[in-house]
Amino acid sequence: MFGSISEWFYRSVVGINSDAPGFKRILFKPQPSGDMKHAKGTYQSEYGEIGAEWTIVNNSFSYKVKVPVNTRAEVWLPTRYGQTLTEQAKKIDRNSGIRFLRNEDGYTIVEVGSGEYWFQIQK
């Protein structure tokens, strides 16, 4: 029973999901809900540690992700029209190593390679 709670937490709340066998591709899709203001979790894959952490402060959403070497990730960031999306306080552009994919169902979806990323969404 406790294993299913842990799985629900890192898959749904924190947003760590496999998008290919062995986590070769990762799908980060956090689902903050209720009064929760912070969640953090890690998963040890065969490629290394995968991590995600989000925080909500004063209507700003911050999402940190850790993508192990030799993997890629799709990151779903909960956004609404008129909000500003940055990574480590810098505008996301062609030189940032972050590729915009699309907007879908209230999320901005980007693709990233190995590394650590810190996304901020502000009104």
pLDDT one-digit tens code per residue, 66-122:
999 999 999 999 998 778 898 988 877 777 789 999 999 999 999 999 999 999 998
Number of structural domains in the chain: 1
Q: What percent of the chain has pLDDT over 90?
A: 66
CA distance 87 to 89: 5
* List of residues 6+ apart from 45 with CB closer than 8 A: 22, 23, 68, 71
| Other Cβ atoms closer than 10 A to 23 | 22
More confident of the two residues 26 and 1: 26
Print the domain residue range for 41. 2-122
pTM: 0.89
- 40: CATH: 2.60.420.10
